[in-house]
Amino acid sequence: MGMNRFLLTGCAGFIGSHALDLLLSNGHFVAGVDKMTYAADEENIKRHESNPSFKFFELDICDQAGINKIIQENNIDCIINFGAETHVDNSILGDNCFIDSNITGVKSLMENCKDLNIPICHISTDEVYGPIKDGSFSEDDKLSPKNFYSATKAAAEHIVCAYANTFGLDYVMVRMSNNYGPRQNSEKFVPTIIRSLKNNKKIPLYGDGKNVRDWIYVEDSVKIIYNIIYFTNFDNKVYNVSLCDERNNVEVIQTMLDHFGLDWDDCVEFVDDRLGHDSRYSITNHKMLNLIDFEATSFEDGIKKTIEGHTG
């Protein structure tokens, strides 16, 4: 790959910490950066604190000078940017941290890419396309975000592309479908289900429960991203990351109830729908599969691993 020393932002978060595990297990050096907001957890990276191939820095990615110093002092080859605010409900409340992390923070990283001439793998989301009733979005479809979170992620993509076009920088862009797995923040859907069941509380199911998401187990996701970096060598293109495993919220809950041997009526209550709760996201994965021969984790096996790895 020609890339051995990574700056990994959001390294103490859900997906970022799994990316950290993979990079270190594959023999890379990682300078990990995380602001350590509510979405991060020091337990996610604690297992690596004695590893000489890992250095952790508690830092906001908006700190351009601080990031620059880390890159230079650790001879970083490239950046993988998982650092982001991701909770749609919080973005609707008008929290400026979404602007700070998802837009200003990306601009800070791109300034360092420009100044130090290093490439970036920018992690985005399938939500930038907006919802779709039928069919699936490909990488060439237009962006049409419908909530404040996805709007900031779309803006970040445009910033990356603008820097690449203006200054000749190299990047690869990844739009991921809905990740789940161990270490996911408690605010998300699957951890909420597990927590409710373990505490003998009813699972809150928004609206009619028919909202559809495209699910991917987190360890599969980071392996795919790693291989995209390896095989593309930062080719200034966009790649959807998806297993095309679509399930509505009712189906997700039923799979988990089946695991515990529990009854629907005893465990689930319908609640008012969320603001900005898009009906269905769906993306193609043809481009990804042209690069990678990949054996995916089934949803049932992924849920089992998630439940076994749940600590909250």
Distance (Å, whole) CA 172 – CA 294: 19
Question: What secondary structure letter does DSSP report for 75?
Answer: T
Mean of pLDDT values over 83-90: 60
Q: How far apart are CA 269 and CA 65, in angstroms?
A: 49
Residue of 274 and 301 predicted with greater confidence? 301
Mean pLDDT of 202-208: 93
Confirm whether 32 is domain-assigned: yes
Q: How far is CA 252 from CA 191, 205, 214, in A?
A: 12, 11, 11
- Is a pLDDT exceeding 60 seen at residue 116? yes
In a domain, 250, yes or no: no
- Look at residue 94 in the predicted model and tell me its pLDDT: 56
Instruction: Report the candidate in 144, 10, 164, 160 with the shortest Cα–Cα distance to residue 81.
Output: 10
pLDDT band per the 50, 70, 90 thresholds, residue 83? confident
- Given 41, 127, 214, 278, the catalytic residue: 127
Mean model confidence pLDDT for the chain: 92
Say yes or no to pLDDT of 87 above 60.
no
**Residue 269 belongs to a domain:** no
Instruction: Grade residue 224 by pLDDT with cuts at 50, 70 and 90.
Output: very high
The enclosing domain of 27 has a CATH number of 3.40.50.720
Query: What mean pLDDT comes out for the span 220-228?
Result: 97
pLDDT at 176 over 90: yes
Q: Is 38 in the active site?
A: no
Rounded to the nearest angstrom, the gap between the alpha carbon of residue 38 and the centroid of all alpha carbons in its chain is 16
Question: Mean pLDDT across the stretch 228-242?
Answer: 96
pLDDT the model gives residue 104: 92
Q: Which of 34, 41, 60, 126 is catalytic?
A: 126
The H-or-E segment that residue 212 falls in is: strand 212-217
List strands edge to edge, sheet with 54-58: 54-58, 29-34, 5-9, 78-81, 120-125, 171-176, 238-241
Q: Helix or strand or coil: residue 55? A: strand
Q: Would residue 206 count as lying in a domain?
A: no
Lateral strand order in the sheet of 178-180:
178-180, 212-217, 246-248
**Chain length of the chain:** 312
pLDDT surpasses 80 at 201:
yes
Burial class of residue 245 in the structure, from the number of CB atoms within 10 Å of its CB (0-12 exposed, 13-18 middle, 19+ buried): middle
- Residue 165, Cβ density class (10 Å: 0-12 exposed, 13-18 middle, ≥19 buried): exposed
pLDDT for position 276:
63
d(CA 248, CA 268): 15
Q: What's the pTM value of the predicted model, to 2 decimals?
A: 0.93
Look at residue 227 and tell me whether its pLDDT is greater than 50: yes
Per-residue pLDDT tens over the stretch 25-79: 999 999 999 999 888 999 999 999 999 999 999 999 999 999 999 999 999 999 9
- Residues 116, 3, 107: CA angle, nearest 5 degrees: 40
Q: Is 196 part of any domain?
A: no
Tell me whether residue 129 is one of the annotated catalytic residues.
Answer: no
Domain that residue 148 falls in: 5-180+212-245+282-299
- 190 assigned to some structural domain: no
Structure tokens at 124: 């985005």
pLDDT of residue 96: 63
If phi over 0 gives left and psi between -120 and 50 gives alpha, with beta otherwise, what is residue 245? beta
- Catalytic residue (one of 129, 149, 171, 226): 149
- Residue 123 or 88, more confident: 123
308 is catalytic: no
pLDDT of 90 higher than 60: no
* Whole-number pLDDT of residue 98: 67
When pLDDT is averaged across residues 199-226 and rounded to a whole number, the result is 95
Count of domains observed in the chain:
1
Res. 149 pLDDT band, cuts 50 70 90 = confident
* Pair of tokens at residue 167: 């200054």
Per-position b or e across 90-124, b if 16+ CB within 10 A of its CB: bbeeeeebbbbbbbbbbbbbbbbbeeeebbbbbbb
Residue 264 within a domain: no
Q: Please choose, from the candidates 283, 211, 208, the residue with its C-alpha nearest in 3D space to the C-alpha of residue 247.
A: 211
- Identify whether 263 is part of a domain: no
